[in-house]
């Protein structure tokens, strides 16, 4: 998700509350956005960082512009460690990928992709990413969640299948 202004306050706006109720965003994603805003009060340079996406896949991925990566990681990784302590999850800062393939890689890690099929449906194109079943244990994200996140990141319909 992209952090919302309401996460600077104690109360979620109606939109975000609905998204949380419908599992479109997670509690941890909200917690991390709030933690970044809190930390920015102590370390004002964090106000210059535009958070593009926060994604909870067990660990939490934060996507920022390439020039902001160092700023949010902080001196000696201080800020990212603090964020990680605040939400009690491993937090990884990523430069926002320039391509859909880059997003796929940041979610799946270095797992080999057998092929990508393009399927034409009534709803437009669907990209099916086929991965050998033996790598399924290396991927922490469920295919359902993967599809949802890729839609948010790339605005494309992308599904993950093990074969």
Q: Least distance in Å: CB of 78 to Zn ion?
A: 28
CB 153 within 8 A of CB 103: yes
Q: What is the β-pairing status of strands 115-121 and 157-162?
A: unpaired
Q: Least distance in Å: CB of 136 to Zn ion?
A: 35
Look at the block and give the residue holding tokens 């390439």: 66
Q: Least distance in Å: CB of 54 to Zn ion?
A: 13
Q: Least distance in Å: CB of 18 to Zn ion?
A: 10
- Tell me the two tokens of residue 149: 């996140």
Closest CA to 107 of 141, 138, 155, 69: 141
Residue nearer to Zn ion on the CB measure, 19 or 79: 19
Query: Which parts of this chain interact with Zn ion (CB under 5 A)?
Result: 4, 6, 13, 16
CA separation, residue 139 to residues 8, 23, 60, 92 (Å): 33, 20, 14, 16
Residue nearer to Zn ion on the CB measure, 16 or 64: 16
Residue nearer to Zn ion on the CB measure, 25 or 64: 25
Instruction: Tell me the C-alpha distance between 83 and 92, whole Å.
Output: 10
Residue nearer to Zn ion on the CB measure, 20 or 111: 20
Instruction: Give residue number: closest CB to Zn ion.
Output: 4
């Amino acid at each position: 998700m992209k952090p919302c202004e309401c996460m600077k306050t104690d109360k979620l706006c109606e939109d975000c509350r609905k998204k949380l109720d419908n599992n479109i965003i997670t509690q941890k994603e909200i917690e991390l956005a709030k933690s970044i805003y809190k930390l920015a009060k102590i370390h004002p340079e964090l106000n210059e960082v535009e958070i593009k996406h926060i994604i909870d896949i067990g660990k939490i991925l934060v996507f920022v512009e390439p020039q902001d990566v160092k700023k949010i990681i902080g001196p000696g990784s201080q800020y990212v460690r603090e964020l990680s302590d605040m939400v009690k999850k491993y937090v990884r800062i990523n430069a926002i990928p320039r391509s859909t393939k880059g997003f796929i890689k940041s979610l799946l890690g270095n797992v080999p992709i057998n092929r990508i099929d393009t399927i034409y449906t009534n709803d437009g194109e669907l990209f099916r990413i086929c991965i050998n079943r033996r790598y399924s244990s290396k991927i922490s994200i469920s295919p359902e969640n993967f599809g949802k996140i890729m839609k948010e990141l790339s605005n494309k319909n992308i599904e993950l299948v093990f074969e």
